[in-house]
Amino acid sequence: MIELKYYLLISAALFSLGVFGVLTRRNAVNVLMGVELILNSANLNLVAFSRYSSSGIDGQMFAVFVIVVAAAEVAVALAIVLTLYRVLNTVNLDRADVLKR
Amino acid sequence: MSVTDVVFILTAVVTVGSAVVVVVSRSLIYSVFSLLFTFFGVAVLYVFLGADFLAGAQVLIYVGGILVLLLFGVMLTHRLYNLNLTTERFQPIAGTLIAAAVFVSISLAAFKTKWKLVGDRELEPTTQQIGEAFLSSYLLPFEIASVLLLVALIGAAMLVRRRTDV
Amino acid sequence: MQVEAYAGEEMVLNMGPQHPSTHGVLRLELETDGEIVRNVIPHIGYLHRCFEKHAEKVDYPGVIPFCDRMDYIASMNNSLGYALAVEKLMDLEVNERVKTLRVLMAELNRIASHLLSVGTYAMDIGSFTPFLHCFREREKILDLFEWLCGARLLYNYNWVGGVSHDIPDGFEAKTREFLGQFEPVIAELDKLLSYNKIFLERTANVGIISEEQALSHNVTGPNLRGSGIAWDLRREEPYCGYDTYDFEVPVGLGEYGPLGSCWDRYYVRVREMEQSLGLIRQALDRLPEGDVQEHIPRRVRPAKNEVYDRTETPRGELGYYVVSDGGLIPFRVKVKSPCFTVLSLLPAIARGGMVADIIAIIGSIDIVMGEIDR
Amino acid sequence: MEYLREVLTRQVGGYDQLPEVLQIFLPMLLACLLCLGLVALIPLIAIWAERKVSAHMQDRLGPMRVGGWHGWAQTIADGVKLLLKEDIIPAQADRLLFKLAPLVVFAGGFAAFVVLPFGESFIVSDLNIGVLYIAAISSLGVVGIIMAGWASNNKYALFGGMRAAAQIVSYEIPTVLAILTVVIPVGSLSMQEIVKAQSGSVFNWFIFQPVTFLAFWIVFLGTLAEVNRTPFDIPEAESELVAGYHTEYSGMRFAFFFLAEYANMFLVSALATTLFLGGWHGPGFLPGPVWFILKAMALVFVQMWLRWTLPRLRVDQLMHVSWKVLLPIAFVLVLAAGTLALI
Amino acid sequence: MNLGNLDSLTFFYPELILLGGILLVVISDIALKGLRNRVNPLLTLAALLLALFCTLQTDHGSAMTLFEGMLALDNFALFFKVFLLVAGILVLLGSLHSEELASVHRGEFHALLLAVTLGMLLMANSAHLVMLYLSLELVSLTSYIMVGYLRSDRLSNEASMKYILFGAVSTGAMLYGFSLLYGMTGSLDLFAIRDALLAQEVVGFNQVTLLLVVVLTTAGFGFKTAAVPFHFWCPDVYTGAPTPVTAFLSVAPKAAGFAILVRFFLSGLSQPAGEQWRFISGVDWPLVLIVVSVLTMTLGNIAALTQNNLKRMLAYSSIAHAGYILMGAVLLTGSGLKAMLVYLFVYLFMNLGAFFVVTVIFNSEKTFELQDYNGMFRRSPFLAIAMSIFLLSLIGIPPFAGFLGKLYIFGAVIDQGLYWFAVVGALNAAVAAFYYMRIMKHMILENDDRPPTPLRISTLNRALLILLLVPNIVLIVFWAPIDRWTANSITLFGGL
Amino acid sequence: MKQASEILQTLQEQFADKIIKSSQECIQPFAVVPPGAVAEICAFLKNDPGMAFDTLMCLSGVDYKGSKKEPERLEVVYHLFSMRHRHKIVLKVELPREDPALPTVEGVWAVANWHEREAYDMYGIHFDGHSDLRRILCPDDWVDYPLRKDYVQPESYRGMPAAAAKQFAQRAQEGEDLGTDPFSAG
Amino acid sequence: MKRYFKDIFQSIWTVLQGMKITGNHLFTRSCTLQYPSVKWELPERSRMRLFNKIEDCIGCGQCVRACPVDCIYMTTEKRAKQEPPLFAADGTPIKLRVTQFDIDMSLCCYCNLCTYPCPTHCLVMTPEYEFAVQSKQDFLYRFAKEEPQAPPKPAPTPRPAAAR
């Protein structure tokens, strides 16, 4: 029987890696990958807690919704990235700088 | 150390290791493909946690949907036939420090916090429970999620359409 | 059109010279935007064998084997055009049997050529079985030719002033037998391919050649008739006594989409096979007696003159411009190839379509690179 | 797997004296080997059948020499040839991904065999999310295909890979929806449960019930598209894209793609058999697994039949079929199935 | 009272109407090719009005939860529902004659507007972490699309991309916070969470973890309310988005964000004790929020000082206003909450008004630059005066409604004895006055050489401006109903 | 349908000074026009409703070097046909062998584009105003114009032998031991 | 809407029709010829491999002139008066000794033009079609029986143009 804290450790690692990705990457798609890592870590937490900390399956339900929302979010994000790419020909966040005057 | 432990450790190493590749690799394509292993690793962890339906959904949606979308994003926003899909890095030191701080605080929390723990439960298939929950206590979220998907569909379709008229 | 939705990354795609569906060694430089083709630049010349230079080096009969090799799918028709041009240059009249045999062979060859065109077109669109069914039939025609003159593909049959062989015994019956069993094959092809919904969807809406484009680009043959213009040299400028035969000129009707689409061109070919069947029957029925070689001159030496003569090959009007200097070898032979002119139209009709449409268009205009590059 | 373990315990003396690790792993290993054997064997037969079917539909004979009777060993000979062939990796290719891609594609097809119910007890693992598992694991193939297309550094391959991915992703939706029409009345995602729900007379098979009859065709077409068969074979349309995503592959790696393609053909047929054709049920004179394989092979034959009859669609038409034809019908069917279930 | 799924539907009419509206708009956009440009706005307006009507009709009596505890229906939620629907209607009307949106097809815009309103209504009464997350995502996702609505416009795209990336990260962080909270309490229901936290003494390391939860969740709510330090996106997005969308974002999702913040922290992390709330021992989350509030208003105001682009300036100013509003929320008193509601209510009219003037001027001038507003008074006195009134109101100068908001807020703060907090707020208001006055100076005092050509304003826009002006002027006189309404509205389910 | 003589007559009337020569004796009557006027005349022939030459059947170059009966020159021959009236005419333009140039008729008949490219490729005739005058059959960097009578085949092209290798028979004649007598052997 | 269903119906119907046809062909006789166990039966006029019966060749060179691709090479020398008279099979006297008669089959275009002018019909095309060899130079068929004496300097290649 694996203890709860090991799952939390993995999740913490994923979360901080996600944060690292978000902070250090300048490519929109890459940032999205970081976000996916964060969402996965949260999901892992939810499922782990659902197993160890609650009697129901609330955590799993939450995770299902998170997965669905993540899919929708990525779809919209990529649509925006594509549109931006058409206008700018880059997805590098630093080059999307008209707004920074 | 039992067989389960070994498998668990392996999964954990693969999951975290590929996640490291995701955020460290300079090649976008490698990032995306190693994300595949992260997603799979998480799905296996779900299986460990007895969430079989969720594991299926994770693979189905993350690998079959999100990963493919990301791949499309990578390929459509670069010169398609250019192998050097690299990405510039930005403030690696600050990023490392912040991420390390986050990791330390959360893992401390993970180890030191007194989580609410209920007694050990028998692993049982959750598919049916999830289905029932969808139609009872989680009916409203279920419906709202569908509205959300509808909006995302409308929005994404609108954004990628090229012409201004329909 | 919703085709715009398939736009994506812009890139240059090099299709050919070695590519399964460019019908020989054609190279297309496609500027694509995702699945959409923004521009097509054809590069030809990969099969250039200096036909015209060769023709200035050998005597008049010696040009005929080279003519055969231009459009190797329809050799009978190619050499026929040259023979007729030189006969015109020499003011030579052949006898009726030769004329009838020439019509017979030209029409058999037309069927063989159209079978290949239709079959490979099916394969381009992704259907393999009709291709082999067509080839099965084509082989039967080639058997006949081999029986007739000993060669299956490059016949050297039409000579200046006559033909190389008279038909062997039993040829007539065998041909009739072929005609009888071939007719249902066309009906089967229609069911299997022509009216198949997927095939219609793929072809009936793409590669539209308008009437003006067709005329300005001198598009001829089935491609022209696919655009709804009933123009056939066999009827308009009869040679070999075609005016004495009874046949129709099928044209595209635009039944399943705009007029002049790939499907129309394809279907004109199918209908032309039926017409050729009728022509062959009539030719067999009349077949007058005579010596097929009686008018062959010992030495082909036309007087100084020049002629531009054109015939209707399966691919359209094949023109020979022969200039004679009064010597034994032609001074200049220039070939106006029907595929050459129609290929020059490709960029105009392919622009804005999808990559798959390029394949459909190339297949439908039925080019033979040997004739374009000469 | 439980069955296998039982058999081992019963038949092999001293099996229960083995260490626990081995007791768990041996049946796993054995099951894996069996699966691998199936994955290797079925494509061999299917490839030979495809050659023969296509040949006879085109009034040909097909391979006749190798092995004697109707060239039955031709595929084996070809396989040997492919294995011995030089393994070429294009100079500009991404070597790691280029090598990984065939394995990923193959693994996707192979892993799905685990839940196929060949017979009442002939199933490696009767997961209670069996159907979901198949849908999920088959998406692995998409990733592999894109990987192959991209790693080849060839425009045609990339084009093919992208097309394949778009196609598989969009056809997965109506397919999964249509599968739901079976899952709703059965009330389980387990493959065995679904088969058991069709026991009894032949008319208990889902194909003989109105809603699921239509659903069967949607599943059939959708899976046909997912395994890239004509008329949905645009990712490897040889007249457009040479060979699609495996243009640059040769030798053993190509063999992997080839095996995976035919294994997938069988897989989707087996899935349809399980869902609609009563799985291993059948008149008693033949054992269950035989019935199962026969039915699946019959569906494979229909796939071949279609391939050698039809031209292929264009990309936009392909999407049209999925989004505007199959999807609405699938939605209606799911609604109908739900209503029926409520009644 | 907890209602099941079917029983809840009776109290769910506004949301159902909006849902029906979305579907109708989508269908009419596909089906009515010729008429759709006329029908869609009417359909949208009808849906919003009908929803507003139903909301007003809803029973104000006992608070209850709907849908098996997913939603909490109380007066607090009802206030926000009314508020958000009014905002929706005003923005819809304001968008009709906007030149920015004239170039694009607007079928989806109306559907998205309805969807975002629906999401916000749900945000206002979510009482379950899943609903909290879903409604927040519904609003976010829709706003991302709305911000990027001008597809061919580079600014709009950039803004949208920044918005979605920041949004995704912050909601991800919030989600992680939620998951930790779930681990500590074993429940996703806000009230159950509170009970669980009360049941177990939050001691030892659990305090740190709870602080972590507060910080992470504040990221999510702070993102919606554009509070420092989660405000990065705000100026860029407000500048890039189409102006009607900016106006909408600066008011409605912000208000909904406050609603969700108040509900999460008050219902979930503190305990009602008479007039005063008591936060659950362990972590001093009000202090966190006070710091956030001070930072927010100071940073917003200081940054606004140097801006020359009016949209950007208003963006920073709206950050500052978020700080004022937050002042009320963190006091843990009824009067603080009430002050916050009053402030929000007047903020709706003054901020929308200011943005609307910008929209109208952009329609003919195609510019957001401050210099180009020179001589506006001579060209259209009406506009200049209206703008001045909105700006004065935003500063909080007495005869206008903004004063009322500031009065309540500072009153509530001083009541609690947080004098330094009030002083910071007042100082900020003084700074704000400076840049608001600058706009007025440009419009009224400065002239350029060009001959003053009169600005054309469409009748609809003029009427709407007057409609927005009226509350700004009269509220100060008729403050009693507002007072009563807000006083009534501070009752949260499971508290006070 | 007009006889060639009528067409030549009309041309003579329209472009009196620009028709250098016309001949009706040969099989296909032709008119020789100066290089400068060819585009103009072609445009007239296409657009005049009585003429309506809507197709350019063929455009050929001819090199008359080495002819026993003709003076040395390059010739461009236009074979025109009217689909509407079903009559035809031949136009000829005589050009010097050095630096031949004449205006393009691409704007009149689109098909002339490729025909002219071929004439350029084979004879080096420059068509002024042509939109895309590149070599068409030969590679872009081919030297010299192959169909000129004095063309000498280059030894190699880009390092590849271009001239045919020595024939086996010649090598055999020189004493090399090649070839078989397959019939006597078998 | 009507069109939508009509399209679906048409697709299904035409697909079924096609399947019926291919299904029928499954049971028709195949037209495959099992080469090489079954050989292709060639008609007598088949133009495959060239053969020269050198005994009958009078060395007139007509075939050399007729060949458009110059694949026949012939050198002759006058037979001395004192040599015994030779006659071809049809009685034509042979006055020239053919010292070299080479046909380069790798160049031959099978046009059959060389066989027509042959006065003694000694040059014929045979229906023999399996004549693959290992090396291209083996396609040089040398028909002259006597070894040609290597001339002191290479003789000029006979070309048709030069012949006239």
| Residue among D50, D54, D57, D66 with most chain G CBs within 10 A, to mutate | D57
CB-based contact E184 B115, cutoff 8 Å = yes
* Tens-place pLDDT, residues D73-90: 888 888 888 888 888 888
| Contacting D residues, span 311-340, partner chain G, CB-CB under 8 Å | 325
Question: What distance in Å separates the CA atoms of residue D265 and residue D236, rounded to the nearest whole number?
Answer: 15
Q: pLDDT class for C1, splitting at 50, 70, 90?
A: very low
Q: pLDDT class for B85, splitting at 50, 70, 90?
A: very low
Tokens found for residue G148: 């040609």
Q: Taking 60 as the threshold, does the pLDDT of residue G129 lie above it?
A: yes
- What does pLDDT average to over chain D? 82
Question: What distance in Å separates the CA atoms of residue C188 and residue C184, rounded to the nearest whole number?
Answer: 6
3-state secondary structure (DSSP) of residue E454: coil
Across C1-5, D246-250, F174-178, the highest mean pLDDT is recorded for: D246-250
HEC-encoded secondary structure of chain C? CCHHHHCCCEEEEEECCCCCCCCCCCEEEEEEECCEEEEEEEECCCCCCCHHHHHCCCCHHHHHHHHHHHCCCCHHHHHHHHHHHHHHHHCCCCCHHHHHHHHHHHHHHHHHHHHHHHHHHHHHHCCCHHHHHHHHHHHHHHHHHHHHHCCCCCCCCEECCEECCCCCCCHHHHHHHHHHHHHHHHHHHHHHHHCCHHHHHHHCCCCCCCHHHHHHCCCCCHHHHHCCCCCCHHHHCCCCCHHHCCCCCCCCCCCCCCCCCHHHHHHHHHHHHHHHHHHHHHHHHHCCCCCCCCCCCCCCCCCCEEEEEEEEECCEEEEEEEEECCCCCCCEEEEECHHHHHHCCHHHHHCCCEHHHHHHHHHHHCCCHHHHHC
Question: What distance in Å separates the CA atoms of residue B36 and residue B9, rounded to the nearest whole number?
Answer: 18
Question: What distance in Å separates the CA atoms of residue G119 and residue G116, rounded to the nearest whole number?
Answer: 8
| Residue among F23, F77, F137 with most chain C CBs within 10 A, to mutate | F137
CB-based contact E185 B150, cutoff 8 Å = no
Inter-residue contact C32 to C10 (CB < 8 Å):
yes
- pLDDT < 50: residue spans in chain E: 496
Q: In sequence order, what are the beta bridge partners of F95? A: F74
Inter-residue contact D282 to D120 (CB < 8 Å):
no
Tell me G104's DSSP state. Answer: E
pLDDT (0 to 100) of residue A40: 92
Question: What distance in Å separates the CA atoms of residue E284 and residue B76, rounded to the nearest whole number?
Answer: 48
Q: How many residues does chain B have?
A: 166
Handedness of CA D329, D326, B152, E153 (dihedral sign): negative
Tell me E418's DSSP state. Answer: -
Handedness of CA E62, E67, E70, E76 (dihedral sign): negative
The helix-helix angle for E334-365 and E243-262 (nearest 10°) equals 170
CB-based contact B152 E69, cutoff 8 Å = no
Q: Which of E406, E143, E334 is nearest to E257 (CA)?
A: E143
Q: Residue D167: its chain C contacts at CB < 8 A?
A: none
Tokens found for residue B98: 């912040």
Tokens found for residue D116: 């196929």
- Gap from A46 CA to chain B (nearest CA, Å): 10
Phi, psi (5° rounding) for residue D70? Answer: 50, 35
Question: CA-nearest residue of chain A to E145?
Answer: A76
Tokens found for residue F69: 């009966």
Question: What distance in Å separates the CA atoms of residue C155 and residue E205, rounded to the nearest whole number?
Answer: 97
| Contacting B residues, span 20-39, partner chain E, CB-CB under 8 Å | none
Task: Give ∠ CA G109-G111-G117 in degrees, rounded to 5.
Answer: 125
CB-based contact G141 F179, cutoff 8 Å = yes
pLDDT (0 to 100) of residue G150: 46
Whether C96 contacts chain D with CB within 8 A? no
Question: What distance in Å separates the CA atoms of residue C272 and residue C250, rounded to the nearest whole number?
Answer: 6
* Tens-place pLDDT, residues D189-222: 888 888 888 887 777 787 778 888 888 888 888 8
CB-based contact D169 B64, cutoff 8 Å = yes
Tell me D44's DSSP state. Answer: H
Inter-residue contact E121 to E18 (CB < 8 Å):
yes
Q: Which of E320, A85, E463 is nearest to C8 (CA)?
A: A85
On the CB side of A72, CA atoms within 13 Å amount to 27
3-state secondary structure (DSSP) of residue F60: strand
Whether E178 contacts chain A with CB within 8 A? yes
Question: What distance in Å separates the CA atoms of residue G125 and residue A82, rounded to the nearest whole number?
Answer: 68
- Gap from G37 CA to chain D (nearest CA, Å): 11
- Measure CB to CB from residue E212 to each of B105, B154, B166 and give the nearest one: B105
CB-based contact F110 C310, cutoff 8 Å = no
pLDDT (0 to 100) of residue D237: 66
Q: Taking 60 as the threshold, does the pLDDT of residue C263 lie above it?
A: yes
pLDDT (0 to 100) of residue A41: 92
- Beta strands G49-52 and F101-103 are unpaired
- Gap from A45 CA to chain E (nearest CA, Å): 6
Instruction: Specify the higher pLDDT residue, C115 or E440.
Output: C115
Inter-residue contact D98 to D151 (CB < 8 Å):
yes
B neighbours by CB contacts (3+ pairs under 8 Å): A, C, D, E
- Gap from C300 CA to chain G (nearest CA, Å): 12
Whether E239 contacts chain A with CB within 8 A? yes
Tokens found for residue A3: 């203890």
Residues F135, F140, F142, F148, Cα dihedral to 10°: 0
Chains C, G: CB contacts within 8 A come to 81
E117, F51, G25 from F1: Cα distances, Å: 76, 9, 53
3-state secondary structure (DSSP) of residue D338: helix
Tokens found for residue F149: 């009578």
Question: What distance in Å separates the CA atoms of residue F126 and residue F132, rounded to the nearest whole number?
Answer: 11
Q: Taking 80 as the threshold, does the pLDDT of residue C324 lie above it?
A: yes
Q: pLDDT class for A95, splitting at 50, 70, 90?
A: low
Complex confidence, ipTM? 0.79
Burial of residue A29 (CB within 10 Å: 0-12, 13-18, 19+) is buried
- Measure CB to CB from residue F68 to each of C319, C325, C336 and give the nearest one: C325
pLDDT (0 to 100) of residue F56: 86
CB-based contact C11 B79, cutoff 8 Å = yes
Q: What is the mean pLDDT of residues F113-119?
A: 88
Whether D94 contacts chain B with CB within 8 A? yes
- Gap from G150 CA to chain F (nearest CA, Å): 6
Question: What distance in Å separates the CA atoms of residue B23 and residue B92, rounded to the nearest whole number?
Answer: 11
CB-based contact D143 B57, cutoff 8 Å = no
- Measure CB to CB from residue A83 to each of E151, E165, E178 and give the nearest one: E151
pTM listed for this prediction? 0.80
CB-based contact B70 A33, cutoff 8 Å = yes
Question: What distance in Å separates the CA atoms of residue A42 and residue E219, rounded to the nearest whole number?
Answer: 15
Tokens found for residue E466: 């007057």
Q: Residue A36: its chain B contacts at CB < 8 A?
A: 35, 62, 66, 70
Q: Taking 70 as the threshold, does the pLDDT of residue B114 lie above it?
A: yes
* Tens-place pLDDT, residues F14-33: 777 777 777 777 778 888 88
Burial readout E308-320 (b: 16 or more C-beta within 10 A, e: otherwise):
ebbbbbbbbbbbb
Phi, psi (5° rounding) for residue G101? Answer: -135, 95
- Gap from G73 CA to chain F (nearest CA, Å): 7
Q: Residue E168: its chain A contacts at CB < 8 A?
A: 32, 35, 73, 77
Are chains B and F in touch, 3+ Cβ pairs below 8 Å?
no
Tokens found for residue C77: 């028709």
3-state secondary structure (DSSP) of residue A85: helix
- Measure CB to CB from residue G68 to each of C58, C129, C149 and give the nearest one: C58
- Measure CB to CB from residue C156 to each of G15, G67, G112 and give the nearest one: G112
Q: Taking 50 as the threshold, does the pLDDT of residue F185 lie above it?
A: no
3-state secondary structure (DSSP) of residue G105: coil
Question: What distance in Å separates the CA atoms of residue C47 and residue C18, rounded to the nearest whole number?
Answer: 12
| Contacting C residues, span 216-255, partner chain D, CB-CB under 8 Å | none
pLDDT (0 to 100) of residue E495: 59
- Write down the number of H helices and E strands in chain G: 3, 7
Question: What distance in Å separates the CA atoms of residue C309 and residue C160, rounded to the nearest whole number?
Answer: 14
Whether G138 contacts chain F with CB within 8 A? yes
Q: What is the mean pLDDT of residues B40-69?
A: 86
Are chains A and G in touch, 3+ Cβ pairs below 8 Å?
no
- Gap from B45 CA to chain E (nearest CA, Å): 17
Q: Taking 70 as the threshold, does the pLDDT of residue D334 lie above it?
A: yes
Question: What distance in Å separates the CA atoms of residue E30 and residue C250, rounded to the nearest whole number?
Answer: 42
Q: Residue D137: its chain B contacts at CB < 8 A?
A: 59
Question: What distance in Å separates the CA atoms of residue E372 and residue E383, rounded to the nearest whole number?
Answer: 14
